[in-house]
Structure 1
Amino acid sequence: MSRSDAALFVGIAAVWGTAFVATKAALDSFPPVTLAALRFSLAALALFAVVFAARKRWIPSGRGDWLPILAGGAFNIGLHHALLFAGQQYVSAALAATLLGLVPVATPIFTRLSNHDDSLSVTGAVGILVGFLSVVLMAQLDPTDLSASVGAGLVLASALAWVLGAVLTREDDATLSPVSLQAWTLLVGALLLALATLALPGESLTPAALSSASTDALGWLVYLALIPGAAGFFAYFRLLDRIGPIQAGLLEYAIPPFAALFGFFVLQESLAETTVVGFFGVFVAFLLVKSDSIVAALARHRERGEPVDSRSD
């Protein structure tokens, strides 16, 4: 992972950490699938505006373009967010972010089943386990409390939908520019979510749904669409294409600390001691997952007397 990829990784985790609290706030005024459809419709419009302003080619051509567009739109945008937002009606923002720690655990399994060329070492697998236990610690799960079981199940199902999309989304043969690909991906997801609102009870994309929403909820909707939505997903798919689904899946371990910090500083939520311990565990998990690259870089540094280059892997 290069320095620029590492900075992108941290930036995405920070921005998406804020999205869980923003979503929880917006759900006070919007049904979950309606919120997701509105969010990604606005996000798609924003990216298409960039495409046309930059005079990029925007019409997909062939399997190389349509495969990542359809896979990312159907699974990462559509199904994932329909399930996630539905689950967030019943669980806290912090718990939802934490439960998505299933993503790095499930990704290596899905990549093996799909014969993906990404791989994970034994030490990396231990790191993933440490990270998962750390986010469970931060969630402070109570096994005797079954009231949120439906919500937790929906969030966990959304994690599997996300992994499937990440494994299937490959841009190696794409001919469109990255921003054009992501604009289409968000649009496909938004259209599928809009169709879902027609079939699901309690969902609606009528003007009344917007007019009845509070000013705060509309503000959160715009924020979700433009920052974690348009900008965040454009950055994510760029990172996914460069580092692969296993390492990109580790975002789900980096997001909960940012979600907790956002709640602490903006919403004055308390920061438990277990959360601090969990942060440390996540840091250790990253070191374990990247241990092979770190050891190799240090060995080259000792042998050649050259500065350690974080771009070597």
Structure 2
Amino acid sequence: MKNRLLGAICLSLAASIWGGMYVVSKYVLDFIPPITLVWLRYIIAFVLLFAILKIVQFKTKSGGAKKGSRDWLLLAWIGFIGYFVSITCQFIGTKLSDAHTGALITSATPAFMIVFARFILKEEFTLKKTISILLATIGVIIVIGWDIDLGSYFVGSMILVGAAVTWALLSVYVKVASKRFSSLETTTYAIFFALIFTTPLMIWELQANQVTYNQEPLILLGVLYLGVVSTAGAFFLWNKGLELMDAGIGSLFFFFQPIVGAFLGWLLLHEHLDRTFFIGGLFIITGVTIATFQKNRNTYKSS
């Protein structure tokens, strides 16, 4: 139970950080193209995480787990499907739609995670998980509402669906990797591979688009926030949380994103919060609580 509570804290913090990321991303994307911004996130995150990894290995006098070709392929796959495809789709989708639409569509991620966890990790699809996902989904719908016109953002919406599916797949394979490597190793090397995959597209984007170099402090702070907090910090917390919990249960913490996003909109942008925010938030918290304290009947075995 102690590990599960720690995992719940890590996942809650990661989802909360991402909840405030849409506002920052939307602002910075007005000045920096999406793929270039993803690349900047990764170069900052990788340098920071690699330095921390080497310090930890030096202090513990450990070189990390020995990795064979299958291990490197697993880390490359996580970097490709999650940190390259999913995050790129998220940024492009947000650029072509809006933050509200992005929050609504990507909230479907937990449902995909539970399905993938059932078939890949052989996790049980219990009644409590079903009740939890239904309660949390209802809560998201209440908080965000359906007052958006998906038709006006059709291309962006489809790209955001792709982001939700691939992030769910990433989370399941992070659980697989947790049986072989530490969360810090998985996060660091997966981001390294994502950086490699992103670099050619970043170069093409900069050649195809005229970028105005703006030295406004808010842009620099936004990029640093996305690299250090939303990438290095939140990715590690998410992977650590999934290491300590079933992927199906951990998926529910993704629903904290719209709560935090709406709250920060009220706090920083003076947006209005009505009773639906609190009612929806109660549904989400209830669903997550039920899932967190259910008996662990995970049948997943490391392959």
3-state SS in 2 of match to 1:275: helix
Calculate percent identity across the aligned residue pairs.
Answer: 21
What corresponds to 2:300 in structure 1?
A: none
What corresponds to 1:6 in structure 2?
A: 8
Over 3 Å counting, the alpha-carbon distance change for 1:58 and 1:5 in structure 2 is: closer
In 2, Cα distance between equivalents of 1:263 and 1:79: 28
What corresponds to 1:83 in structure 2?
A: 89
Q: Which amino acid in structure 2 is aligned with residue 99 of structure 1?
A: I
What corresponds to 1:165 in structure 2?
A: 170
Equivalent pair of 2:50/2:188 in contact (CA under 8 Å) = yes
| 1:71 pairs with 2:44 | no
What corresponds to 1:134 in structure 2?
A: 139
What corresponds to 2:200 in structure 1?
A: 195
Deviation at 1:132, TM superposition (A): 1.5
| 1:125 pairs with 2:136 | no
3-state SS in 2 of match to 1:187: helix
Deviation at 1:94, TM superposition (A): 3.8
TM-score, with structure 2 as normaliser: 0.85
In 1, Cα distance between equivalents of 2:237 and 2:84: 18
| 1:95 pairs with 2:97 | no
In 2, Cα distance between equivalents of 1:73 and 1:91: 25
* 1:75-129 superposed Cα distances (whole Å, 9 cap, x missing partner): 2211111100011113332432232221111122222332x13223123212212
What corresponds to 1:283 in structure 2?
A: 285
Deviation at 1:139, TM superposition (A): 2.0
Aligned with residue 41 of structure 1, among 24, 40, 43: 43
Over 3 Å counting, the alpha-carbon distance change for 1:223 and 1:143 in structure 2 is: closer
TM-score, with structure 1 as normaliser: 0.82
In 1, Cα distance between equivalents of 2:274 and 2:153: 20
Deviation at 1:59, TM superposition (A): 8.7
What corresponds to 2:32 in structure 1?
A: 30
Between Structure 1 and Structure 2, how many residues are aligned?
289
Deviation at 1:188, TM superposition (A): 1.0
* Structure 2 gap segments, 5+ residues each: 298-303
Q: Looking at CA atoms only, which structure, 1 or 2, has the larger radius of gyration?
A: 1
Q: CA RMSD in A?
A: 2.7
Equivalent pair of 2:7/2:240 in contact (CA under 8 Å) = no
Deviation at 1:177, TM superposition (A): 4.4
Deviation at 1:220, TM superposition (A): 0.4
**Which stretch shifts more, 232-241 or 77-86?**
232-241
Over 3 Å counting, the alpha-carbon distance change for 1:184 and 1:210 in structure 2 is: farther
Over 3 Å counting, the alpha-carbon distance change for 1:49 and 1:204 in structure 2 is: same
Equivalent pair of 1:87/1:155 in contact (CA under 8 Å) = yes
Deviation at 1:221, TM superposition (A): 0.6
Deviation at 1:138, TM superposition (A): 2.0
Equivalent pair of 1:178/1:238 in contact (CA under 8 Å) = yes
* 1:128-186 superposed Cα distances (whole Å, 9 cap, x missing partner): 12212221222222365621232222111100011111222312552x54323321111
3-state SS in 1 of match to 2:201: helix
Structure with the largest fraction of helix? 2
Equivalent pair of 2:108/2:164 in contact (CA under 8 Å) = yes
* Structure 1 gap segments, 5+ residues each: 297-313
